[in-house]
Amino acid sequence: MTEPKPSILNNSLRRQEEEAQARLMTVMGAHMIDQAVAPQGKTEMLQMISYLEDFGSELEDSLDLFAPNPYLRMALHLLRGHFEAKTVTQTSLIGASGVPYATANRRLKEMVEAGLIDQRPRTKSGKSFSLHPSDELLQNWVQLAGRLRRLTTARFETVGTTTETKDYYFGGSYLSAQTIPPLQVLPEQLKVPGGIRALVHGDPTFMVMDTLKKQFEQTIGTQIHQRAFSIDRLREEAVKNAERPTSRYDIIAIDLPWVGGFAESGVLMPLDEAMDIARLDPADFHTAGWKAAHWGGRPYGVPAQTTPELLFYRRDLFAEAGLEPPATTDQLLDAAKALHAPQRGRYGIAWNAARGTALGHTVLMTMADFGQPILNLPEVAGGFDTDHLADHDYRPTIDTETGLRAAEFLLDLLKYSPPDILSMSWYERVRPYAAGSIAMAYGYTLLAPYFELDPSSPAHGQTGYLPHPAGPGASPVAPVGGYAMGIPANLPPERVPAAVEALLVFTSPQAQKMYIENGSRTNSRYSVAADPEVRRISPIFEAVDGMSWRDELQFWPRPPVPEICDIIQICGEEFHDMLRGIVTPREALRRAQDRADALIEPNGFT
């Protein structure tokens, strides 16, 4: 594998990305500090625990005949420690019981025997334990909290209670039967020197994971050390790590298009060598995200975030202009023209048009919008076949009539784009949309916090989510992006079991829901998207889930072949010259085709 070639331009774009990431994390940090938008899972759980603790104390203080309930007091103390990521010992639990030591000790043993409390060794001797709520206690608690909420609302409902509020308590809440239970601690601590070491991308989901580090450390029983880089630096570090005698990381995050190259160059180990794949519950992952993590029929990563690129559009502006959400590229251009008002500081649409990697992705996805993949993939029902990419029986398909239509579409988009469009990349296209100066923007769902978590944004609560509008004769596509988490091929064998267990925790439905509750807008599992509380947090999850069921979520627009990063770079350079007016669309297509052909010829293409 060739490493990305550094340049002044790439360094500038890298700085822009890192600065934009910092700004986004500032928005998300404010959201985590002040979650006034809607109470989230963990917060509501702690509120209910506090309510029962206070109510119990009031009862006990009101009459001498009301004795403390040690079962309830210890259960509440245990649950509070779990949600606050604090260690609970036998001594602290007995102290919270409110009854004499001997009585509390007996009640504690009864709770352990009843399967309500899990004990995890804290020392090698096994004589000291930390105490944790069992899965049974957690599930029973979720159901009890839901019933108490509903009873309280029913008995003390006030005149000011709205239908929306009643819907929330009587079926719209995450406390319904479909809810995902809270994250449970592992039965045994992970015993790995130095803790778990992870290399990740510096995006909102992985930053949320870092914010919740204390809770994850309690879950797996060891420290977590996380290094986060921008996308180009992440790839460089992953490649360098593979060249070391032993890996510095137990788990690395990988952009989905890198899977083929990383598998063939020995950056990642096949996961079926390290674990029983059934433990991941593969059927629960969005199909496109799960398949994108495979190469040669073997999984090399677990989807940590499935974040399709969608069309964000301002529903309020569309309504004012009497426009329908665009389903085709022609309708998109018409809407962009109608909403383009530079004299008022508003532009029709923003997209990735910066030279190189950013525009290259746009080229591949735009060709997909017109029904053509960047490689000659066999057509199958619902898209194109990617199961045999490891055979290397493919060639670039750029200089085609469909490619020409895609190129001309990009030139049309220029007319209704902001003046700095040719330097816009990942974050830069969404920031002005969030600020209200753009009516539509192509963007990954992971960037939605820019406006979903910012009540001051004109796009807050006014954004609709669509797959890419389709060209003539093509079907709508939501190109899948995001990251999988894999295990480095050069990880010492003695660390692999711990890496597997940590990987299972970080990609579990429970963890995915925690990310979302704390600001992430990505999700890779059907079960998480079906959770009522997740759907209440943002409409984006229901929208993406529907796209997946309709087979609009596809990863073939960026097939994960070893040459894909170079192909993207080539398209981003040649098409940028076209957008600048240096070459014609046909010249750009021919030059990109010739360069891509030369790139793939050594692998057997003639």
The segment(s) of the chain belonging to CATH 1.10.10.10 are 41-172
> Cβ of 265: how many Cβ atoms within 10 Å?
16
The segment(s) of the chain belonging to CATH 3.40.190.10 are 187-307+481-529, 310-479+563-603
Query: pLDDT of 282-338, one tens digit each?
Result: 999 988 899 999 999 999 999 998 899 999 999 999 999 999 999 999 999 999 999
Which contacts (CB < 8 Å, 24+ apart) does range 362-365 have? 362/410, 362/442, 362/575, 363/406, 363/410, 363/568, 363/571, 363/572, 363/575, 364/479, 364/557, 364/558, 364/567, 364/568, 364/571, 365/309, 365/442, 365/468, 365/477, 365/479, 365/557, 365/558
Q: What is the pLDDT of residue 219?
A: 92
Q: What is the pLDDT of residue 519?
A: 87
Query: pLDDT of 454-509, one tens digit each?
Result: 999 999 999 999 999 999 999 999 999 999 999 999 999 999 999 999 999 999 99
Question: In residues, how long is the chain?
Answer: 606
Query: pLDDT of 193-250, one tens digit each?
Result: 999 999 999 887 888 888 899 999 999 999 999 999 988 899 999 999 999 999 999 9
Rounded to whole angstroms, the Cα distance separating 530 from 540 reads 12
In angstroms, how far is the first alpha carbon of the chain from the final one?
Answer: 21
Element (H or E) spanning 226, and its range? Answer: strand 224-229
**pLDDT (average), residues 105-110:** 88
pLDDT confidence of 436, banded at 50, 70, 90?
very high
Q: What is the pLDDT of residue 336?
A: 98
Query: pLDDT of 527-544, one tens digit each?
Result: 998 898 899 899 999 899
Q: What is the pLDDT of residue 176?
A: 41
Q: Is the pLDDT of residue 53 over 60?
A: yes
Cα→Cα distances 562→99, 299, 551, 556, Å = 65, 16, 25, 14
Query: pLDDT of 135-151, one tens digit each?
Result: 888 777 777 776 776 66
Q: What is the pLDDT of residue 153?
A: 64
pLDDT confidence of 5, banded at 50, 70, 90?
very low
Q: What is the pLDDT of residue 96?
A: 82
What is the CATH code of the structural domain delimited by 187-307+481-529? 3.40.190.10
The CA radius of gyration of the chain, in Å to the nearest whole number, is 26
Q: What is the pLDDT of residue 32?
A: 43
pLDDT confidence of 26, banded at 50, 70, 90?
low
Q: What is the pLDDT of residue 164?
A: 40
pLDDT confidence of 43, banded at 50, 70, 90?
low
Architecture of the domain defined by 310-479+563-603: 3-Layer(aba) Sandwich (3.40)
Q: What is the pLDDT of residue 58?
A: 72
Least confident of 53-62, 199-208, 588-597: 53-62
pLDDT confidence of 42, banded at 50, 70, 90?
low
Q: In percent, how much of the chain has pLDDT > 70?
A: 84
In 3D space, the residue among 199, 219, 182 whose CA is nearest the CA of residue 49 turns out to be 182
Decide which of 525 and 28 is more confident.
Answer: 525
Query: pLDDT of 274-293, one tens digit each?
Result: 999 999 999 999 888 999 99
pLDDT confidence of 95, banded at 50, 70, 90?
confident
**pLDDT (average), residues 20-39:** 47
What average pLDDT is seen over the chain? 85
Architecture of the domain defined by 41-172: Orthogonal Bundle (1.10)
